[in-house]
Amino acid sequence: MKFCLCIHNHQPAGNFEEVMESAYSRCYSPMMEAISSHSGVSLGLHISGTLLEWLESKHPEYIGRMSELCRLGRMELLTGGRYEPVLTVFRRNDVSQQIREFSKHLRGISGSTPRGLWLTERVWEPRLASVLAASGVEWVVVDDIHLKRAGAAGVDLYRPCVTEDSGRTLKLLGSDKRMRYMIPFSPVEDVLEQLRSYSDSGIGMVFYGDDGEKFGVWPGTADLCYGKGWLEEFLSALESEEWLETVLPSEAASMEAAGPFYVPECSYSEMGEWTVGPADRDDYAAVKRMLEEAGVGEAAERLVGGGFWRNFLSRYPESKELHGRILSSEQMIRASGNMDALHHFWRSQCNCAFWHGVFGGIYLPHLREAVWREIGLAERIALESTGGYPLVREVDLDADGASETVVVSPSMSLIVQAASGLTADQLTFFRADGEPVGVGCVLSRRREAYHSGIPGVTQQNSARTIHSGMGSKEEGLAERIVEDRWRRTGFTDLFMPSSAVPEDWRRCAFLVRAADRTLRIPVSDGREDGIAGFRCTFEGEAPRLKKELEVDLSDPRITVVSRWEGARGMRTGIEVCLNLMTGSSPDRHYTVDGGDEHMMSAAGEYRVSTLKVADRWRRVLVTVEVPSECDLWVNPIESVNRSESGFERVHQGTAFLFSSVSGPDGSAVLEATLRMEELPEGQG
- For 101-220, strand residue ranges (E) read 116-118, 139-143, 161-165, 168-175, 205-211
Residues 6+ apart with CB under 8 A from 183: 191, 208, 210, 214, 234
Distance of CA 618 to the CA centre of its chain: 22
For residues 482-502, one letter each, b for 16 or more C-beta atoms within 10 angstroms of the residue's C-beta and e for the rest, the string is: bebebbbbbbbbbbbeeebee
- Say if residues 534 and 417 touch (Cβ distance below 8 Å): no
What's the confidence (pLDDT) of residue 542? Answer: 79
- Residue 665, C-beta contacts closer than 8 angstroms, at least 6 positions apart: 568
Exposure on the CB side of residue 27, measured as CA atoms within 13 A: 23
Residue 409's region, left for phi above 0, alpha for psi from -120 to 50, else beta, is beta
The pLDDT score that the predictor gives to residue 359 is 87
pLDDT at position 304: 86
- Domains in the chain and their CATH numbers? 2-265 (3.20.110.20), 272-307 (no CATH), 389-678 (2.70.98.10)
Neighbours of 474 (CB within 10 A): 12
Q: Quote the DSSP letter at residue 390.
A: S
Intervals of the chain under pLDDT 70? 458-469, 510-511, 517-528, 682-684
Q: What is the pLDDT of residue 376?
A: 97
Q: What pLDDT sits at residue 282?
A: 87
Residue type, 461: N
Check residue 470 and give its pLDDT. 76
Residue 430's closest CA among 365, 392, 375? 375
Residue 22 confidence (pLDDT): 97
Cα–Cα distance between 40 and 663 in angstroms, integer?
Answer: 83
